[in-house]
Chain A
Amino acid sequence: AQSVTQLDSHVSVSEGTPVLLRCNYSSSYSPSLFWYVQHPNKGLQLLLKYTSAATLVKGINGFEAEFKKSETSFHLTKPSAHMSDAAEYFCVVSGYSSASKIIFGSGTRLSIRP
């Protein structure tokens, strides 16, 4: 069975400060993990994905995430927040079995203060 938990429903940071969005997962198999971003009334855009290669994954717009198997975490970070980063972020887990499902976290809303 698989599950994903986004630990914060809302995160607020000042522009220019670091961003940390937390995600923990549970998977019986070696998982694939994704982060998506959604701006208001838009579809989801892929930020980055982990598929058992390098544990530190670099994505678009300066975001990166580190897969930590011992902590079952896949937190999303960015060194310096920009106003355009304000959006909803989703952590997604999927197993490598044809029977496994794609599971979405409940989302974290990121707000950026000027």
Chain B
Amino acid sequence: DGGITQSPKYLFRKEGQNVTLSCEQNLNHDAMYWYRQDPGQGLRLIYYSQIVNDFQKGDIAEGYSVSREKKESFPLTVTSAQKNPTAFYLCASTGRGRVAGGTDTQYFGPGTRLTVL
């Protein structure tokens, strides 16, 4: 089955620690995205990548970092610089990158809930 997987489902972090959230897709999609969702709010874009070895900051990139070394993988690192990291994190992908123009449906992973202790 094609889809997006995120791991772990739940993640606990002590203050001052960096943690990395995994996102893998086998849809052969070019573009991948990371969103943060807080209770009662919509999704806010952290980072996105239109193609391998390229990524762009979204609206709330401070305190986060990403890499895109492989087409199918787009890991997100939450650094100690992120002041309020407790949230639900969603990864998504689309078939065509924004560079190619046009829009495409976003497919979402099941999410990772990060809690800072």
Residues of A within 8 A of B (CB): 9, 32, 34, 36, 41-46, 49, 51, 90, 92, 94-102, 104-107
Contact = CB atoms under 8 A, between A and B. Distances in A.
Interface in B80-108: 88, 90, 92, 98-103, 105-108
A90 B42 CA distance: 8
A42 B111 contact: yes
Interface residues of B, number: 26
A76 to B, nearest CB: 15
A107 B42 contact: yes
Contacts of A43: 4, 6, 90, 108-111
Contacts of B11: none
B13 interface: no
B116 interface: no
B42 A34 contact: no
Contacts of B92: 44
Interface of B: 4, 6, 33, 35, 40-43, 45, 88, 90, 92, 98-103, 105-111, 113
Contacts of B101: 96-98
Contacts of A44: 43, 90, 92, 106, 108
A94 B45 CA distance: 14
A51 B103 CA distance: 9
Nearest to B113: A41
Given A98-B98, A98-B99, A98-B101, A106 B41 contact: yes
**What 5 A-B pairs have minimum CB-CB distances, sorted nearest first?**
A43-B108, A44-B108, A32-B103, A104-B42, A106-B42
A89 to B, nearest CB: 11
A96 B102 contact: yes
Given A41-B111, A101-B45, 10 more contacts: A36-B108, A41-B88, A43-B90, A43-B110, A43-B111, A44-B92, A46-B105, A46-B106, A98-B98, A104-B35
